[in-house]
Chain A
């Protein structure tokens, strides 16, 4: 566990989370959540929790993204104001 790498990854996670909340493009929000999950998996692996890390990568970055895009294909892409 290296503190500067942790802090950098957590900083990017916070930035990506805020961007995913504030964007109006839902497809971009899904991709941002996928990137969020990938960085979260990096954090888990960096904290020596490898099994949690690749579970996060498989569920968060893989399965959930496919589910959300499949759900998004039934609705509009842009969020209404």
Chain B
């Protein structure tokens, strides 16, 4: 308890770093599998949560500086907007392209491309996958942004304490 918080934060454990370095790619692969790997619809929120958990594991193991290097804070807004545009824009774009009464918003199994090229019928030729990726990217960026907010306030408190 005599150590200051800064020293405790800077002490890194080689076991935690090695395990994190080993596990983070598999966690992210599992997140992608949850998002786009399975046959049925759904899983965007869960996959995005797993991706955000992998990033938080990286920050816990390697510190916030390396986390900021891997994913700068300005990317969060870009990712959130990109996910929303993917989610809403794919449906709108397809409604414009296939505006023959065959395409319905969020009902992508009715798109004729799925029957021509083949593929999972409920996914509608990977359009559902794009929607899931949009949801996942938004959820991941939201969680990472909350985490960045908490960590940044913590740092500002520490700096304020150091200045006193």
Query: Which A residues are closer than 8 A to B by beta carbons?
Result: 51, 54-55, 58-59, 62-63, 66-67, 70-71, 73-74
Asked whether B53 lies within 8 Å of A70 as measured between CB atoms, the reply is no
Q: Complex formed: what's the CA distance from A58 to B34 in Å?
A: 13
Identify 10 new A-B residue pairs, CB closer than 8 A, beyond the known A58-B46, A66-B56. A55-B49, A58-B50, A59-B49, A62-B56, A63-B56, A63-B143, A66-B60, A66-B147, A67-B147, A74-B153
Contact with A along B30-68 (1 / 0, CB 8 A): 000010000000110110011011001100100000000
| Least CB separation from A61: chain B residue | B53
The reply to whether B150 and A54 contact each other, CB–CB distance below 8 Å, is: no
Interchain residue pairs with CB less than 8 A apart (7)? A54-B46, A55-B46, A55-B49, A66-B60, A66-B147, A67-B146, A74-B157
| Proximity string of chain B (50-92) to chain A, C-beta cutoff 8 Å, 1 when within and 0 when not | 1011001100100000000000000000000000000000000
Measured between alpha carbons, how far is A28 from B150 in the docked complex, in Å?
Answer: 20
Closest chain-B Cβ to A41's Cβ sits at a distance in Å of 12
Q: Find out whether the CB atom of A51 lies under 8 angstroms from the CB atom of B43.
A: yes
Name the residue on B nearest A52 (C-beta).
Answer: B46
If A63-B53, A66-B56, A66-B60 touch, whether A51 touches B46 (CB-CB below 8 Å) is yes
Q: How far is the CB of B152 from chain A (nearest CB, A)?
A: 10
| CB of B151 within 8 Å of the partner chain | yes
Query: Nearest residue in A to B9 (C-beta to C-beta)?
Result: A73
B37 shortest CB reach to chain A, Å: 12
B5 sits at the interface (CB 8 A): yes
